Structure 1
């Protein structure tokens, strides 16, 4: 009888340890999933910022805009034909 009680006690202990292991594993999985979701949101926000910055760079680098800024802010103009001097080597 004592051997049978020892076997049942051992199996119960193994069962409880296994259940605790499963609970711990599921908890770790939930924590990791929450972190993954947070990082995916951060990634999506960064992608939106990156796309916005690419559009802004394209706008700022537009040749017509640069030409317009040069004329307005720096008072630059295309030279007249008479002002062009060709230097030959």
Structure 2
């Protein structure tokens, strides 16, 4: 009887140790994944900031006006060229 109890306790101890080892390994794997995802998030935030700055620069009205005048040869119509159509 004593040997059986001792064997059960030893098996329970081994099973508990294996559970602790598995839990620690799983924790390390998940921690590595969280760290990798946080790094990717930070890189995406930096890229988003760059894109917002680029969008603000490209959408600036003075720049659009300059491109329209230089590249497309556009200009504001003269007062005499404006026609108002009423219903």
- Structure 2 length-normalised TM: 0.90
Question: Unaligned stretches of 5+ in structure 2?
Answer: none
Partner of 1:30: 28
1:77 deviates by: 1.2
Partner of 2:69: 71
How many positions carry a matched residue from both structures? Answer: 87
- Structure 1 length-normalised TM: 0.88
CA RMSD, Structure 1 to Structure 2 (Å): 1.3
Question: Unaligned stretches of 5+ in structure 1?
Answer: none
Alpha carbons of structure 1 residues 81 and 9: separation in structure 2 relative to 1, 3 Å: same
Q: How does 1:5-84 map onto structure 2 within 5 Å?
A: 5-84=3-82
